[in-house]
């Protein structure tokens, strides 16, 4: 997931905004208690998400893939004072873990958790979004895009994580590798869909910023 030389990557992190204490605590507990802690956004990408959210100043955020809530809290930092973030995760066992840190953060009342299949939940949300963060199951990335694009306000932003997929996007494709094929198709979709303008950033495992025209 790291494409820069280690020394240069360390320099980048050291000269970026510092990770808040609460997120350091969340990270420690995630590594102690939760399977696949590598799914955390991490301190550098978290500060990138925070900065983008603060620049957008969203009223409504949609997040697909909560995990333990690290990215949720980063994105919440940019919310308008009366804004809210709707975050969807299929794993109900993480609900209470997420809520503990949400309530500690000061954003607790602005964060609405949804547990279940995002393909079912997104159509039920009667609202439009200013910022969407997609960080869920890769085979459904394109499906998520088609569900949210008409709910995204003009000028709204879609952030898509893991779009370099450990570098597999430039390797020979294994026909059985459905996730890599899905990411390749999704990247092509974002590049070709005339409703959005897209820039792919080589941040960690790849982060795409797409703006609705």
For the stretch 95-131, pLDDT in tens is 999 999 999 999 999 999 999 999 999 999 999 999 9
CA angle (108, 158, 16) in 5-degree steps? 70
**Tokens representing residue 26 in the block:** 């969340």
CA atoms of 207 and 45, how far apart (whole Å): 9
The pTM (predicted TM-score) of the whole model is 0.95
How are beta strands 207-212 and 196-201 bridged, if at all?
A: antiparallel
Q: How confident is the model at residue 2 (pLDDT cuts 50, 70, 90)?
A: low
């Amino acid at each position: 997931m790291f494409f820069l030389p280690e020394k240069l990557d360390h320099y980048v992190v050291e000269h970026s905004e510092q990770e808040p204490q609460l997120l350091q605590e969340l990270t420690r507990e995630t590594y102690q208690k939760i399977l696949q802690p590598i799914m955390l956004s991490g301190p550098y990408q978290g500060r990138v998400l925070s900065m983008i959210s603060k620049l957008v100043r969203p009223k409504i955020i949609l997040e697909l893939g909560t995990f333990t809530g690290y990215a949720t809290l980063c994105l919440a930092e940019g919310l308008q004072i009366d804004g809210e973030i709707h975050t969807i995760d299929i794993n109900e066992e993480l609900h209470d873990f997420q809520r503990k840190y949400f309530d500690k953060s000061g954003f607790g009342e602005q964060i609405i958790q949804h547990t279940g299949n995002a393909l079912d939940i997104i159509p039920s949300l009667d609202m439009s979004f200013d910022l969407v963060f997609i960080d869920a199951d890769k085979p459904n990335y394109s499906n998520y895009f088609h569900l949210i694009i008409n709910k995204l306000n003009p000028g709204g932003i879609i952030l898509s994580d893991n779009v370099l997929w450990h570098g597999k996007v430039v390797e020979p494709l294994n026909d059985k590798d459905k996730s890599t094929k899905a990411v390749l198709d999704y990247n092509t979709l974002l590049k070709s869909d005339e409703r959005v303008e897209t820039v792919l950033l080589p941040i960690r495992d790849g982060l795409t910023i797409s703006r609705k025209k």
